Structure 1
């Protein structure tokens, strides 16, 4: 990765572009910290992560169904490594960049959750989209109100490691994917190091982070490369904030403040600095944004809108959505003794009709629907290790993925 970063720096210097700041101290993540995954968990992680992305006509409500296009892209079993299936290879011929980026996100976030849960067994791990969170405090694009950052580098996600009533710790996450090989992954990791460096929480260069590059070769097993950086920062220590209260947009002046050099005041560097004065607000933003992602995954626009600020896209969930791209929270199913409510989708897969269901455990969804974020977080924390780990539900007759936040993604073939 160092060689790829040096090559990129040389090219930028030749083109007279600004030199990028990259996260220092990145090192490989020990293999024993990683875990086995199923395709359904990868698709669930990707679908759950993009519910607030607002990348299509669905205005975020039906974004997560985009994960279904990859349900036959992967092959492998419990005794082998995962690889692209024949269908996945054919898809890659036409949509290489999209497929590798989206599947790379799924693998990275599924691994992040397992890795941090193993390192912090007494805490809960929440994955939150970075753009949506940051937009509550900073103007990310020219369309946003407030002082413009003018900086396009930022992590794609935050992982918040938390326990009710205590300080939480936040890890910026950057994830990429490719269909090439090791050289391309080194280049992607070098680029990702600039993305995670764009957010500092607390002291200069003390924020821990994780970066990923997933190789999806047309021949051979897929490989996830991951690097980590340590540090004493990333902690949000601000008791007294009530998460049930609505979040307000802030107008934080962009820039990261380096430490002074002697008596000389250093000029701010481009990026986003969560200073101690913002700890409580940022923790509040993370919790409310995560709650919005859960209700959107269940297809409930009415429950989602109150959790977002105006700049975060509240009106996209409060407004009218095109009938063909909306999702509605009107379905319910029971898996492994737990009732779930959510939304469903029926589509054709190689001429066979397939049903997909996404939702949240009924009792947990009621807390979110009625604005009880504190209660929701207390309960998912208490139940974080008690969820069923089976990946096949006999009565449903299909694969099921249940995450500790109470969300579920299930699929099954429908009889003609």
Structure 2
């Protein structure tokens, strides 16, 4: 969420904005996850934000688990779709280029990748509600319009995932999930391309918006609204995804200077240049040993119901060094080899709190002060 620039994840100095949800949920290893008393008492005007952001968290966790099991020899990365698409398309009136004028698009892409091979791109849309299954069914139906707005390769063959997380006032949390099957989504080699160096900057393009249906005899139908990643864009878009993923990790570690190199102007490079407001800025200036590994990143102190809590977010020191130096290929190669070797422990007694290490080498740790 560090690149999304919206909601509780729009700045690492707002750690408290998203981590407060640890107080909104209750459960145990033997039971279901459900809303806590505090979660149920959330002010009415805040309910939609709470269910939407919790819906994102649970949906992406489930999507990563599903795809990792389905493609065990690959790595799964979650990338904000708006940021990736902006490298080639103008999404709003503030963006320079041919504006699509189409407001539907997926919230995230899952990139299923392996070094040196084509990636699989899966659009993901996730919603949440505090109501019931009927509301979730409506959300799933509306989510379909978002994932169908992006086609990768062959017309109407891009697989996708849609989720609706139901957070009722009473009863367990329920995730409704649907997938669209398809043989597309793979970023094969572009025609006449010699491959790309992921360590080099990606160029910003102005792809004309629209999804091109197949020809019917001698007639070429008019494009449908949306975004079509055609075969001639495959190498370029795989380059975009790799560098956008790198930008997300450096932003998560609070390293604005390292993030700038990975984004184009339209992707939000300006957010990491110069002065950052205290509510959205962060500085990579902390080193912490967690579960016997060294991590570098940023830390913040906030309050949960009057209790002071420290949160640290960062990346394994050796992997961060590759990212800070622009070595994306080496980062991806090492992250892929180490994807199943990270500690699975969730508590570090020396740190004094819970620790979560992800397959990409990122970490989030909390402790009471």
TM-score class normalised by the smaller sequence = over 0.9
Q: Which residue of 1 aligns with 2:110?
A: 159
Q: State the secondary structure of the residue aligned to 2:164.
A: strand
- The answer to whether structure 1 residue 263 and structure 2 residue 214 are counterparts is no
TM score, norm. by length of structure 1: 0.85
Given that 1:174 and 1:192 are in contact with CA atoms closer than 8 Å, whether structure 2 keeps it comes out as yes
DSSP 3-state at the match of 1:247 = coil
1:87-166 aligned at under 5 Å gives the runs 87-91=38-42, 93-166=44-117
Alignment of 1:36-115 (within 5 A): 50-55=1-6, 60=11, 62=13, 66-91=17-42, 93-115=44-66
Alignment CA distance shift 1:63-1:142 (3 Å): farther
Gaps of 5+ in 1: 1-49
1-structure distance, mates of 2:52, 2:309: 25
Displacement after TM superposition at 1:62 (Å): 3.8
Aligned to 1:307: 262
In the other structure, the counterpart of 1:278 is 233
Deviations along 1:234-270, one digit per CA (max 9) or x if unpaired, are 0011261111000111000000000112222111000
The match for 1:403 is 358
**Take 1:193 and 1:133, find their aligned partners in 2: how far apart are those partners?**
20
Shift of 1:94: 4.0
Match of 2:320 in 1: 365
Mapped contact 2:167–2:174 kept (Cα < 8 A): yes
Distance of 1:340 and 1:135 partners within structure 2: 31
Q: How many pairs were matched up?
A: 365
- Distance in 2, Cα, partners of 1:279 & 1:293: 21
**CA contact under 8 A between 2:130 and 2:167: conserved in structure 1?**
yes
Please give the residue correspondences for 1:157-306 in structure 2 after superposition, counting only pairs within 5 Å: 157-238=108-189, 240-306=195-261
| Pairwise CA distance, 1:61 | 5.2
Question: What pairs with 1:370-385 in structure 2 (closer than 5 Å)?
Answer: 370-385=325-340
- State the Cα RMSD in Å: 1.5
User: How far is 1:176 from its partner?
Assistant: 0.3
Rounded Cα–Cα distance in structure 2 between residues aligned with 1:173 and 1:301? 27
Residues 92, 100 of structure 1: alpha-carbon distance in 2 compared, 3 angstrom cutoff = farther
Alignment partners' CA distance in 2, 1:246 and 1:164: 18
1:53 touches 1:63 (CA, 8 Å); kept in 2?
Answer: no
Shift of 1:289: 0.5
Alignment partner, residue 28 of structure 1: none
- TM-score, normalised to structure 2's length? 0.96
Task: Give how far 1:323 is off.
Answer: 3.6
In 2, the alpha carbon distance for the partners of 1:273 and 1:387 equals 37
